[in-house]
Amino acid sequence: MRTAYRVETVRSAEAELIARLPEDALMRRAAAGLAAVCAELLGRVYGSRVVLLVGAGANGGDALYAGAALARRGAGVHAVPLAPGRTHPAGLAALIRAGGRVAEDPFAVLASADLVVDGITGIGGRGGLRPDAIPVARAARGSNAVIVAVDLPSGVEADSGEVLGEALRADVTVTFGVHKPALLIDPARALAGTVRLVDIGLEPVLPSVPELESPQHHDVAALLPEPSGESDKYRRGVVGVVAGSARYPGAALLAVAGALRGGAGAVRYVGHAAEAVVARFPETLVHAGPPAKAGRVQAWAVGPGLGEDRDAVREVLASGVPVLVDADGLRLLDAGDVTRRTAPTLLTPHAGEAAALLGVAREEVESARLAAVRELAARYGATVLLKGSTTLIAEPDGRIPVRVDPMGTPWLATAGSGDVLSGLAGSLLAAGLSPYDAATAAAYLHGLAARIAAAEGVPITSSEVARALPAAWHDVRAVG
Ligand SMILES: NC(=O)C1=CN([C@@H]2O[C@H](COP(=O)(O)OP(=O)(O)OC[C@H]3O[C@@H](n4cnc5c(N)ncnc54)[C@H](OP(=O)(O)O)[C@@H]3O)[C@@H](O)[C@H]2O)[C@@H](O)CC1
Ligand SMILES: [K+]
């Protein structure tokens, strides 16, 4: 798992290290790593033009020491102090000793820069760029220079990934010790560019439980169910899919398509589209309803294209097996029916549905996704998968890390893709995964399938995403 830690945790780990090391040792390590990435980006350091945007804190110090290292290798380095009188004194002295200078005209040096180092704010920044920094940041972005953010793009909130004002979009972010939540969560993540992690020796002093974790191929491979010699379809799990309506029969087909490729031994479809489902997927067991009379299942997925069938949602939530609720099911559910449950529940809203469940505006969820997913999970006592530009998965117990899906792709923003995800995650629940792991594996495989389907760079449909799921399993298993 890739992990991210909150500022408070990073600061206490740093304090522990600083106490054992000579003064400035950590900053020098950070700056050396930063200078190495800048040199790599420049290709030829000698004769290159570098501008340092320097704020009032240690983030500016990092930029100054890295600038000094580049100046020693022959780069022309200019510092632009944005908090004059509060510029890191030792860092500035090191830059001047190395032949760097303070810029007389920041806009002139920015116009001809090859590389700009953004050291305005790091983990100490709050509330977007300040007015003085905005024209300078815009000039940097408007130049042809590569922009390298120090630790974080300046102007983002480190712990939440929110962007409360203007921020400076980077091409590359060089972060120290460990990722911060803003580097994994939109909207901040989209401003970080490529993220490079510099080891400053922090790992051994960090707590074992991070704020966020983001799975990679081998993590997902370890979660996927594997049939054993004794497996029959019931032991592998039967997933009940309650989806589709006279108005939205397609949702039933897409949810079943996802469920058939999620590792359960059988898919039992319940609803008004039974005929269409069997015609397309003859391996499906079907039942016209109601869910309670459908026969044995190990998990339910309810909601895609369901229309107004409130009773079906209520009945499924009254069952003693894990339940996934999506789409119309989220609109129809009664909060008490969820909080009273003893078996686990997984809710899979997009930002609009999450906003309705929380009683806030959609923009509020989109701008503060981490807070929204945690609040929903706590309020409903359920695992929540919040879909979107960054898909997040939270447990009701706030001490458990929120998982961030790294596989999302804009290609998934296509009609019916959520229906495929519901079926897939429901199937993984029926196969015995916890809601947390089922949601994690489903989001990952779904994103990977979309990437595989869109490999030629052409638009894809949700049916194609479902068809690419076996290739996604294969890909994950091959590496895991
Ligand atoms: N600790 C360590 O050992 C190591 C730390 N390292 C580095 O230190 C960084 C953290 O340094 P930090 O704590 O000095 O805070 P930092 O991010 O530089 O900015 C805070 C300053 O900016 C100001 N300010 C606040 N908001 C602002 C805004 N919106 N716009 C403009 N200004 C704003 C605020 O002052 P204020 O004006 O509010 O009084 C404050 O003085 C970290 O990210 C990493 O790069 C590495 O070297 C590794 C070792
Ligand atoms: K920065």
Q: Annotation-wise, does 229 bind a ligand?
A: no
**Cα–ligand 1 centroid distance for 233 (angstroms):** 57
- Residue 266 CA: distances (Å) to CA of 285, 303, 324, 419, 428: 8, 19, 17, 18, 11
The alpha helices in 73-105, defined as continuous H runs, are: 89-97
Is the shortest distance between the CB of 173 and ligand 1 below 6 Å?
no
Over residues 438-451, the mean pLDDT reads 98
Structure-token pair, residue 41:
């980006």
pTM of the model: 0.95
Tens of pLDDT, residue by residue over 395-430, are 999 999 999 999 998 889 888 999 999 999 999 999
65 within ligand 1 shell (Cβ under 6 A): no
Which ligand minimizes its atom distance to the CA of 198?
Answer: 1
Q: Sheet containing 101-102: give its strands across.
A: 101-102, 76-81, 49-54, 115-119, 146-150, 172-176, 194-198
Residue 280's SS3 state is: helix
pLDDT computed for residue 246 by the predictor:
79
Please tell me whether 128 is known to bind a ligand: yes
CA of 178 from ligand 1 middle (Å) equals: 16
Which of 3-17, 72-86, 234-248, 420-434 shows the lowest mean pLDDT across its residues? 234-248
The annotation status of 199 as a binding-site residue, yes or no, is: no
> For 263-268, what is the mean pLDDT?
94
Ligand 1 pocket mutation, candidates 5, 11, 52, 123, criterion most atoms within 8 A of CB: 123
Pocket flag, ligand 1, residue 126 (CB < 6 Å): yes
Which stretches does DSSP call E strand in 165-208? 172-176, 194-198
Categorize the per-residue pLDDT at 335 as very low, low, confident or very high, splitting at 50, 70 and 90: very high
At residue 368 the predicted structure's pLDDT band, cuts being 50, 70 and 90, is very high
Please work out whether the CB of residue 55 comes within 6 Å of at least one atom of ligand 1. Answer: yes
Q: Is 57 helix (H, G, I), strand (E, B) or coil?
A: coil
Residue 193 has pLDDT above 70, yes or no: yes
Q: What is the CA(7)–ligand 2 centre distance, in A?
A: 14
- Domain chopping of the chain, boundaries: 2-213, 217-479
Q: Is 305 annotated as a binding residue?
A: yes
Q: Cα 296 to chain center, whole Å?
A: 35
Which residue owns the Cα nearest ligand 1 atom 43? 122
CB of residue 62 inside a 6 A radius of ligand 1: yes
Consult the annotation and say whether 389 binds a ligand.
yes
- The string of pLDDT tens digits covering residues 105-150 is 999 999 999 999 999 999 999 999 999 999 999 999 999 999 999 9
The pLDDT value given to residue 480: 62
Centroid of ligand 2 to alpha carbon of 202 (angstroms): 19
Cα 28 to averaged position of ligand 1 atoms, centre (Å) = 16
The CB of 95 under 6 Å from ligand 1? The reply is no
CATH T-level assignment (fold) for domain 217-479:
UDP-N-acetylmuramoyl-L-alanine:D-glutamate ligase (3.40.1190)
Mean pLDDT of 32-36: 98
Is 151 marked as a binding-site residue? yes
Overall CATH class of domain 2-213: alpha beta
DSSP state for residue 366 in the 8-state scheme: H
Cβ(58) to ligand 1 under 6 A?
yes
**Degrees, nearest 5: CA angle 467-245-334:** 105
Q: For the complex shown, is ipTM > 0.95? A: yes
Q: State the average pLDDT over residues 354-377.
A: 97
Atom 47 (ligand 1) nearest CA: 27
Choose among 308, 273, 251, 278: nearest CA to 423: 251
The pLDDT of residue 30 = 97
